[in-house]
Structure 1
Amino acid sequence: MSASDSGFQATSRPANRLARETSPYLLQHAHNPVDWFPWGEEAFAKAKAENKPIFLSVGYSACHWCHVMERESFESPTIAALMNQWFVNIKVDREERPDIDQIYMAAVQALNQGHGGWPMSVFMTPEGEPFFGGTYYPPHDARGMPGFPRILEGLATAWREREPEVREAAARLVEHLRKRNEPMPPLIKGPALDHPAADDRDGLDPGWIAEAARALGRVFDSRYGGFGSAPKFPHPMDLKLLLRHHQRVQDPRALAMVIQTLDHMSRGGIYDHLGGGFARYATDERWLVPHFEKMLYDNALLISALAETIQCRPDPTLARVVVETLDYLAERMTGPPEAPGFFATEDADSEGVEGKYYVWSRDEMLETLGEPLGSLFAEVYDVTEAGNWEGHSILNLPEPLDRVAQRLGRPTDQLAAELAQARALLKARRDRRIPPGKDTKILTSWNGLMLAAIAEAAWVVDRPDHLERAEKAAGFLLDHLRQPDGRLFHVFKDGRARFNGYLEDYAYLIDGLTRLGQVTGTTRWIREARDLSRLMIEEFGDEVIDGVGGFAFTGVRHETLVARPRDLFDNATPSAAAMAVTALLRLAALTDDQALRGRGLAGLRALAPLMKHAPTAAAQSLIALDFALRDPEIALVVPGQLDPSDTLAQVLRLLHRDFQPGRLLLVRSLDPPHPHDLHLLPPLQGRDHPHDHVTLYLCRGQTCQAPLVGVEAIAQALTSPPT
C-alpha cells in the first residue's frame, strides 16, 4: 500500500505492533512512539498481568481530528512515555470493529450527557470495563479543555490510589450498557411462526409513518433544507421515508422537504462539483462548508434517495448529480480487476491540511480557464478574492442554474455547456494536485449498500453500464468474503478477509443482492440472498416469542464482549436490525417464502416501540413498515427472442420512470434459469420460452395478469390510470 493511499508518510521511526495490521487507520499509527496493541488477547493479558488500566483509542482513516490528535499527542515522545508507563494502549479502527465502537461509544455518551465522536478516547479496567471517556483531547490545557497529559496523570493516580472505587463505577456503567442492549418490551404481538394468521399485520400502524413525517416537519429548515441546525448531516433514510409518506397520502410538503434538501445539498459545497460525490456532512446550516471526507455509505444512500426523488419529480440537475457520483465511485473508489469491490473512504486532509485538495483561489481559477470563461465560472460558483472559507473558495452554486441564466440573459442549455467545459478543465488541473489519502479496505456492509444503490439508480438515470460493475463487486464479495461454512467476513484488505460478519454485513448485502438480482436477471444473486438470510436468522436472531423477535448486532459465535450490542437506531447508516427486516420482507415477497415473511414481521414487531416513540430515529424501520403494509406487485419482464437489443432497455426505463415502492421488478434472463432458481422464484415458473417480443407480466403472489406483449402495449398499460 502506498503512502498516498493510506494517508501516512514513510518514517525512519521504529514500528510498533500495528505495522502487522491491514487497516490504513492502524497503519497510520504504526510508527508512533506509543506502544500500541491491536484489539486482542495479547493486550488484555498484559493489562491483567501488570494490573494496568487500558487506554482505548477508536477512530478511522478519514477522520480529521483523529489525525490532529495523532500529530499532537501520539507522535509526542513525552506524551507517549506517559501512556506507555501508566496504561496498556489499544488502537481500533471503528470501520473494522463496529461492535467495539458501538459498545464504547454508548459508554462515552453515558459519561458525557449524550455527547460522543471520534477520535474516541476510553479508559477501561484490564477486563475491558469502561470508567472514563471522551473524544479529542489537546496536548495541553486549551479552550476550556483539559490537556491529554493531565487526563492521563489524573486517571493513573485514581487507578493507583482508588482502584476499588474505579472498578465499582465501571461495573455500574457496564450494567447500564447491558440493560441498554436488552430487547425492548413488546408493544404488539403476532401469530406464532408456524401458525400464520389470516392478517399477520395486525397492530402495525400506518399512523407511525405519518407521525414521523410530522416530527421531521417540525425540525425541517425551511430556508436551506435539511433537519436541525449546524452541523448538518444528509439524513437519506429520513428523505426516503418522506417520499413514501408522500406517495402513500399525497402530502405535498413531504415531497417539497425532500426536493429542497437535495437541491441545496447538490448546489452546496458538501457536493464535489468537479469530481462528483458528497462529503460526510456540512459544518454550517447552508451546506457550504463540508467536513471534506467522503464515505462510501453516504454516497450510496444519497444515490438511492436522489433516484427515488427523480422518480417522484424528474429533475435533470439531480440526475446529473447521480451520474457524476456513480462515475466518481467507479473512477476513484473501485478496486482493481482482482478485487473489484468499492473502497471505504477518502480523507478530509491532503498534505496535512483539511480541504486543501478541493478549494480554489480566484487567481488559480482564472489562470486555468482564462477570460471570459474564468470570470463567468467565478461568478456562478461563488469564487471571490476574499474567498468563502478561510481565505479560499469552496465551489458552490448559491443560485439554481436556470435562475442564473435568466439573470444573465442567456439560454440555460448554453450556460450549462460552458460551465461543464470549465468544470472539466478545473478537474484536470485538480487531478495534478496531491490527492487526499484513501482507505482502500472493502467492507461487506457498505458494499451491500452500494449494490442496492446501483440497482435502484442505473435505469433511472439511464446508466446500465454501472450494473456490470455492481455484478463484479457482488461476485467478489461472495467469492472472497465468505468463510468455509458460508458465513460472511466483514472486511477485505491486502488480500486478507478478516473479522466475523456483523448483522449489518448480512442485512445490507442481502438487500443489495436481492435488488441487483431483480434488475439484472442474474438469479444467483437472489439465491445467495436467500441462503444468507437463513444464516442471518440463525446467527443473529432472537427467539421469537408471541410473534416478536429482533436481531442482535453480533453473532452467537462472536467473541464475548462486555455487552452484546443491538443496532436499532438509524445513525449515518441504517439500523442493521431495521435493514434485516427490510431485506427479509422484500426477499419473501419476491420468492413467496412465508417463513422469511414471518421472521421479517417478527423483527418488525420488535421495532414497534421505537417506531411509535422515537420515529425520527427509526426511518429505516418505518420504511420496512411501509413495505409490509403494501400488497407487493411483481413486474416480471421477459425479453423477446426477435427484439432488437435495446427493447428490453426501453421497458426497464419505463418501469423505473415512476416511484412505486410496492412494486418489485424481476427480469427474466435470456439464458434459461437453473431449475432450482425456477422453484425459488414462482413468477418464473411456466415462462421458460419468451415471446417473440418483450413481455411484461404483472403479478401478485403467484398470480399473474395476462401478458402485455411489446413495448407499445407495455407503455400504454404503465401510463394508464390504475383501475
Structure 2
Amino acid sequence: MAEDRKPNRLLNESSPYLLQHAYNPVDWYPWGEEALQKAKQEDKPILVSIGYAACHWCHVMEHQSFEQEKIAEVMNKHFVCIKVDREERPDVDAVYMDAMQAMGVRGGWPLNVFLNPEAKPFYGGTYFPPQQWVSLLANIAAAYEKSRSELDKSAEQFAKHLNVSELDKYGLQQKNFHIREDDFKLMGYNLSTRFDKKRGGMGEAPKFPMPSNYLLLLRYQHHTSDYTALNQVDLTLREMAYGGIYDQIGGGFARYSVDAEWLVPHFEKMLYDNGQLISLYAEAYQATRETLYHDVVYETIGFVERELMSTEGGFYSSLDADSEGVEGKFYTFTKDELQEMMGDEEPLFSKYYHATAAGNFEHGQNILHRRISDEEFAQENQLELEVLQEMVQGWKETIMEVRAKRVRPGLDDKILTSWNALMLKALSDAYYVFGNKHFLDLALRNANFILANLKQGEKLYRNYKQGRATIDAFLEDYALLARAFIRLYEVTFQEKWLQEAKRLTDYALENFFDRTEGMFFFTDQRSEKLIARKKEIFDNVVPASNSVMATNLHFLGLYFDDERYMALSDEMLAKVKDLLLKEPSHLSNWASLYFHKLTPTAEVTIVGPEAPELRAELSAFYLPNMILIGSETGEGSSIPLLEDKVAINGKTTIYVCFNKTCQLPVHTAAEALEQLRDREDEPKFPAL
C-alpha cells in the first residue's frame, strides 16, 4: 500500500500523473533545477521518464518496474531520476521526443531518455518490460562509467541536431508566391490519396480523430463544390459516431481506435479531442443539417460538463483508459450482464448495439457500437422511429445507472490553458450553430475562469489546480486562447474578448517571435531555457501553434485593420507552402488558412438593436470564410471595422465588405446572404 511507503519529492506536485508516482521507491524528482544540479554535483547520468495520467502503458511500466524495490535500487544508485508530465511540460517532451526520433526510435509514451549531466540525450526508448529494463539500466550505467567520452560525444551530436532550426531541417524558406486555385486543388487531391473510403478516416489502423483534416475538407468542398471531400467527411464522422471510439451511452470520444473500423478504442478520453470534435461536428452540421451530428455535439458537451468540468468553471484534462486495472472495464458489458439489465428488451438492445455472447472485445466483453441509422434500424425491425428513439433513451439511462455503481476511471484533474481554450471555442461554435444559450453560459463561465486564474497581467500560465498556477504558458496556450476569444467575440459581440485576443497575440509577438526566421518559438523568452528552443510547425491531433498564430494574425489583421498582422500571416504561410502542397495531412490547419486567403474574407458588420438576432439568422448558413462584427449601438467601439457604420434610420443594418470595399447596406439576413454568395462566385487570387 502507498501509505506504507515513504513518499518521494513528487508528493508536492499538482500533476495527477506525478502524484501517481509519489510513493514509488524510485527517488523521483520533478523536472527542475534541483535535479539538474544534483546530476552535475554527483556526476551522474539523468533518466527522464515522460508520460501522462491517462497513458495505459505508462501505468503498466510503473506497476512492473517503478513500484519494484529491487529495480528502484538500481535506478536510484546509478541515475538522477526525473518524472515529467508531458501535458504540463510539452516543451520538455518535444525536445526529447525529437532526440528519440533522431536516434531512430519510434516515439511514444512512456518515453524514457538517458541524459548526461548537461541534460543532453545519448540514449532512450519507450516501454520496456521489467527484465529488459533492468538489463538496460545496468548496461547504461556500465557504459557511462567505462565509455563516458563516447557517450558525451554522442550526446553533443544529438544536442546539435536538436538545435537545427525546423525551417532549415525541412527546407522551409520564404518565397514570393501566389495564392492559386490549382495549388489548393492539389492539396485536396494529395489529401484524398490517404482516404479510407470504406470506413472513413485516413490510412490504416490505428486511427486517430484528426479534426483539422476534416475541417479542411469541409472548406475545400465549400470552395470547389467537390463532393468527394464532403462524402469523405460524412463517412468519417458517421463511422466515428457509430463506432466504439464514441461512447454510445454517455457521449464523448476516446483518444483513438486501435483498429481500422473505429470499433476498439484506446479508452482514455481527452479534453483536447472532445473540444475539437464538438467544433468539427457543429461545423459539419451547419454544412449538412445531419441530425446525427447535432446529437453528437449535444451528447459530447453533456459528457464534458458532467465528467470534466470543475465547480469553478475550468475543464479537467482527461479520464483514464483503465478502471480497477483493466482497460475499458467501465464501458464494456457481457451478454449476461446486458440480459440482467435489459430483460425482455435485451435481444433488441443487443441487435442495436451489436453485442454478442462471445463478445467483440476481451474476455467476452462487448463494446457497444452501431452500424446503421435509427431510421434504417426502425424500418428493418418494423418499429416506429419515435418508439425506437424512446427505447434507446431508456436503455442509455439504464446503462448510466449501472455505470454509476462501477469504479470510475481515474480523473486527471489538472486544468490546462490550451485545452480549455479548445473547449471554450467548441462551446462558442456550438452556440453559434445551435443557438442553445446553455452552451454560451458554459463558455462565458469558462472564459472568466481562465482570466481569473490563468492570466496575470499580460502573461498566461499553463496549468491550474487547487488555486495554484505554476508553469509559464507556451505558445499553444496563447494561440489557442486568442483563437477562442475571437470566436467568443463573434457570438457575443462583447468587445472585451476581441481585445483580450489582441493582447495575447501582442504578448506572443514580443516574447515568442523569432524575427530572424519569421516564426514563433514554442517557449517564452522569459521562461526556463532548455538545451534547445523549438518551433512547432506541423499540425497534429492539435493544430501547430504556429499555424494557429498565423490564422489569428489573419483575422485580427482584418478586425483591427493592421497590415503588419496581415503581412506576417502571409509570410508565415509562404514559408510552409511547398511542403503544404506535398503533405497537406500534416499541415491541414495551414491549408485552412490558405483557404481563407483564396478569396477575400468577408467582413460582416451588424449594427443596431437586433444585431444578435440577425447574427443568429446568418449563422444558419455555412459561411466558413467570414468574420462577424457587431454592436447594438454602434458607439464607443475601438474596432476599426465598426467606424462610420450606423443603424440607418434606427433600423438594424448589415454591412457586407471585402478587402475594405463594402456592398450597399441591407437590413435582412437574406439580403446579406445574397451579397455573400454573389461574391463567393467571383474568386480572386491576390499575390503575396
* TM-score, with length taken from structure 2: 0.94
| CA drift at 1:580 | 0.8
After alignment, is 158-167 or 431-440 more displaced?
431-440
| Cα distance in 1 between the residues matched to 2:289 and 2:402 | 33
Q: Does 1:528 align with 2:497?
A: no
Q: Does 1:286 align with 2:261?
A: yes
Match of 2:591 in 1: 622
| CA drift at 1:504 | 0.5
Match of 1:684 in 2: 642
> Of 158, 161, 168, which residue of structure 2 is paired with 1:173?
158
Match of 1:359 in 2: 332
Task: Evaluate the alpha carbon distance shift between residue 593 and residue 55 of structure 1 in structure 2; reply closer, same or farther with a 3 A threshold.
Answer: same
Task: Evaluate the alpha carbon distance shift between residue 638 and residue 274 of structure 1 in structure 2; reply closer, same or farther with a 3 A threshold.
Answer: farther
> Of 440, 465, 481, which residue of structure 1 is paired with 2:454?
481
Match of 2:270 in 1: 295
Higher helix fraction: Structure 1 or Structure 2?
2
| Cα distance in 1 between the residues matched to 2:298 and 2:448 | 23
Task: Evaluate the alpha carbon distance shift between residue 717 and residue 167 of structure 1 in structure 2; reply closer, same or farther with a 3 A threshold.
Answer: closer
> Of 600, 621, 624, which residue of structure 2 is paired with 1:658?
621
Task: Evaluate the alpha carbon distance shift between residue 211 and residue 719 of structure 1 in structure 2; reply closer, same or farther with a 3 A threshold.
Answer: closer
> Of 31, 39, 42, which residue of structure 1 is paired with 2:31?
39
| Cα distance in 1 between the residues matched to 2:303 and 2:648 | 37
1:273-672 equivalence runs, <5 A: 273-337=248-312, 340-372=313-345, 374-390=346-362, 391-484=364-457, 486-543=458-515, 549-638=518-607, 640=609, 648-649=612-613, 651-668=614-631, 670=632
Whether the aligned pair in 2 keeps the contact of 1:444 and 1:509 (CA below 8 Å) is yes
Amino acid at match of 2:630: V
Q: Secondary structure at the match of 1:426?
A: helix
Q: Secondary structure at the match of 1:278?
A: coil
Whether the aligned pair in 2 keeps the contact of 1:54 and 1:126 (CA below 8 Å) is yes
Task: Evaluate the alpha carbon distance shift between residue 640 and residue 353 of structure 1 in structure 2; reply closer, same or farther with a 3 A threshold.
Answer: same
> Of 24, 27, 50, which residue of structure 1 is paired with 2:42?
50
After alignment, is 508-517 or 444-453 more displaced?
444-453
Match of 1:18 in 2: 10
Superposed CA deviations along residues 633-686 of structure 1, whole A, max 9, x for unmatched, are 122334536xxxxx944x444322232221112332x5x6783xx12x223334
| Cα distance in 1 between the residues matched to 2:181 and 2:589 | 14
Unaligned runs of 5+ in 1: 1-8, 141-146, 191-201, 642-646
| Cα distance in 2 between the residues matched to 1:57 and 1:673 | 56
Whether the aligned pair in 2 keeps the contact of 1:211 and 1:615 (CA below 8 Å) is no
Match of 1:152 in 2: 137
Whether the aligned pair in 2 keeps the contact of 1:648 and 1:694 (CA below 8 Å) is no
> Of 87, 90, 103, which residue of structure 1 is paired with 2:82?
90
After alignment, is 576-585 or 447-456 more displaced?
447-456
> Of 157, 161, 175, which residue of structure 1 is paired with 2:146?
161
| Cα distance in 2 between the residues matched to 1:399 and 1:711 | 37
Q: Does 1:233 align with 2:208?
A: yes
| CA drift at 1:20 | 0.7
Whether the aligned pair in 2 keeps the contact of 1:187 and 1:608 (CA below 8 Å) is no
| Cα distance in 1 between the residues matched to 2:310 and 2:36 | 35
Match of 2:685 in 1: none
| Cα distance in 2 between the residues matched to 1:438 and 1:690 | 54
| CA drift at 1:101 | 0.5
| Cα distance in 2 between the residues matched to 1:138 and 1:189 | 49
| Cα distance in 2 between the residues matched to 1:584 and 1:227 | 30
| CA drift at 1:259 | 0.7
Q: Secondary structure at the match of 2:528?
A: coil
Superposed CA deviations along residues 173-192 of structure 1, whole A, max 9, x for unmatched, are 111111153556554435xx
After alignment, is 588-597 or 273-282 more displaced?
588-597
Amino acid at match of 1:359: T
Match of 1:3 in 2: none
| CA drift at 1:437 | 1.0
Task: Evaluate the alpha carbon distance shift between residue 691 and residue 412 of structure 1 in structure 2; reply closer, same or farther with a 3 A threshold.
Answer: farther
Superposed CA deviations along residues 200-254 of structure 1, whole A, max 9, x for unmatched, are xx43444443233222222211111111111111111111111121111111111
| CA drift at 1:317 | 0.9
Whether the aligned pair in 2 keeps the contact of 1:519 and 1:667 (CA below 8 Å) is no
After alignment, is 216-225 or 284-293 more displaced?
216-225
Q: Secondary structure at the match of 2:456?
A: coil
| CA drift at 1:433 | 1.6
Q: Secondary structure at the match of 1:565?
A: coil
Amino acid at match of 1:118: W
Amino acid at match of 1:700: F
> Of 48, 54, 65, which residue of structure 1 is paired with 2:57?
65
Amino acid at match of 1:283: V
Unaligned runs of 5+ in 2: 682-688
Q: Does 1:109 align with 2:101?
A: yes
Task: Evaluate the alpha carbon distance shift between residue 320 and residue 17 of structure 1 in structure 2; reply closer, same or farther with a 3 A threshold.
Answer: same
Task: Evaluate the alpha carbon distance shift between residue 638 and residue 332 of structure 1 in structure 2; reply closer, same or farther with a 3 A threshold.
Answer: farther
Amino acid at match of 2:473: G
CA RMSD across the alignment = 2.2
Task: Evaluate the alpha carbon distance shift between residue 424 and residue 461 of structure 1 in structure 2; reply closer, same or farther with a 3 A threshold.
Answer: farther
Task: Evaluate the alpha carbon distance shift between residue 231 and residue 16 of structure 1 in structure 2; reply closer, same or farther with a 3 A threshold.
Answer: same
Whether the aligned pair in 2 keeps the contact of 1:206 and 1:626 (CA below 8 Å) is no
After alignment, is 347-356 or 609-618 more displaced?
609-618
Whether the aligned pair in 1 keeps the contact of 2:217 and 2:230 (CA below 8 Å) is yes
| CA drift at 1:614 | 2.8
| CA drift at 1:591 | 2.5
Match of 2:656 in 1: 698
> Of 218, 224, 228, which residue of structure 1 is paired with 2:193?
218
| Cα distance in 2 between the residues matched to 1:636 and 1:414 | 45
Task: Evaluate the alpha carbon distance shift between residue 541 and residue 290 of structure 1 in structure 2; reply closer, same or farther with a 3 A threshold.
Answer: same
After alignment, is 592-601 or 712-721 more displaced?
712-721
Task: Evaluate the alpha carbon distance shift between residue 691 and residue 504 of structure 1 in structure 2; reply closer, same or farther with a 3 A threshold.
Answer: farther
Match of 2:217 in 1: 242
Q: Secondary structure at the match of 1:37?
A: strand
| Cα distance in 2 between the residues matched to 1:640 and 1:182 | 49
After alignment, is 710-719 or 242-251 more displaced?
710-719
Task: Evaluate the alpha carbon distance shift between residue 335 and residue 10 of structure 1 in structure 2; reply closer, same or farther with a 3 A threshold.
Answer: farther
Whether the aligned pair in 2 keeps the contact of 1:323 and 1:461 (CA below 8 Å) is no
Amino acid at match of 2:505: S
Superposed CA deviations along residues 331-384 of structure 1, whole A, max 9, x for unmatched, are 2111213xx122111111112211111111222223223213x32111100112
Whether the aligned pair in 2 keeps the contact of 1:174 and 1:562 (CA below 8 Å) is yes
| Cα distance in 2 between the residues matched to 1:719 and 1:563 | 48
| Cα distance in 2 between the residues matched to 1:408 and 1:487 | 59
* TM-score, with length taken from structure 1: 0.90
| Cα distance in 2 between the residues matched to 1:232 and 1:304 | 19
Task: Evaluate the alpha carbon distance shift between residue 205 and residue 502 of structure 1 in structure 2; reply closer, same or farther with a 3 A threshold.
Answer: farther
After alignment, is 420-429 or 13-22 more displaced?
420-429
